[in-house]
Amino acid sequence: MNSKKGAAIAVTLGTIAATLYPVTPANADPARDAQWQVSFLKLTQAHQITKGGGVTIAVVDTGVSPHRDLTKNLKEGADTIRGGDGIGQKDENGHGTQMAGLIAGHGHNSDDGILGIAPNASLFPIKAANAEGGGSGLEPGIKRAAEVGADVINVSAGRANSRAMNDAIAATVLADSVVVAAAGNKSDTLRLGYPAAMPEVLAVGAIDEKGNLADFSVTDPKVGICAPGVNVATTTLNNGYGKGSGTSEATAIVSGAAALVRAKFPDLSAAEVIHRLTATADDNGPPGRDDQCGFGVLNVVKALTAEVPPLEGGTAATASAQPSVAAPSVGGSAVPADPENKADPENKAEESNLPVIAGVAGGIAVLGVLLAFLVRRRRKPTA
pLDDT per residue of the chain (383 residues) written in tens, 0 to 9: 333 333 333 343 332 222 223 344 444 689 999 999 999 999 999 999 999 999 999 999 999 999 999 999 999 999 999 777 789 999 999 999 999 999 999 999 988 999 999 999 999 999 998 786 556 899 999 999 999 999 999 999 988 899 999 999 999 999 999 999 999 998 655 789 999 999 999 999 999 999 999 999 999 999 999 999 999 999 999 999 999 999 999 999 999 999 999 999 999 999 999 999 999 999 997 889 999 999 999 999 999 999 999 998 755 455 433 333 332 222 222 333 443 333 232 333 333 456 555 432 222 222 232 233 222 222 333 32
All residues at 6 or more sequence positions from 2 whose CB lies less than 8 Å from its CB, including other chains: none
**303 occurs within a structural domain:** yes
Question: What is the 8-class DSSP label of residue 350?
Answer: G
Could you give the CA distance from residue 148 to residue 96 in angstroms, rounded to a whole number? 19
Query: Which entry of 156, 177, 187, 248 is annotated as an active-site residue?
Result: 248
**264 occurs within a structural domain:** yes
Q: Which domain holds residue 352?
A: 7-375
Query: Which entry of 29, 61, 69, 220 is annotated as an active-site residue?
Result: 61
Query: Which entry of 47, 67, 95, 106 is annotated as an active-site residue?
Result: 95
95 is known as an active-site residue = yes
What are the DSSP E strand ranges found in 248-334? none
**2 occurs within a structural domain:** no
Question: What is the 8-class DSSP label of residue 353?
Answer: T
pTM: 0.81
**CATH at residue 314:** 3.40.50.200
**382 occurs within a structural domain:** no
Q: Looking at the 3D structure of the chain, how many domains does it have?
A: 1
- Tell me what percent of the chain is helix, strand and coil, each rounded to the nearest 5: 25, 25, 55
User: What was the pLDDT predicted at 20?
Assistant: 26
Instruction: Tell me the residue type at 256.
Output: G
108 is known as an active-site residue = no
**304 occurs within a structural domain:** yes
Could you give the CA distance from residue 218 to residue 342 in angstroms, rounded to a whole number? 15
**330 occurs within a structural domain:** yes
**219 occurs within a structural domain:** yes
**156 occurs within a structural domain:** yes
User: What was the pLDDT predicted at 363?
Assistant: 26
187 is known as an active-site residue = no
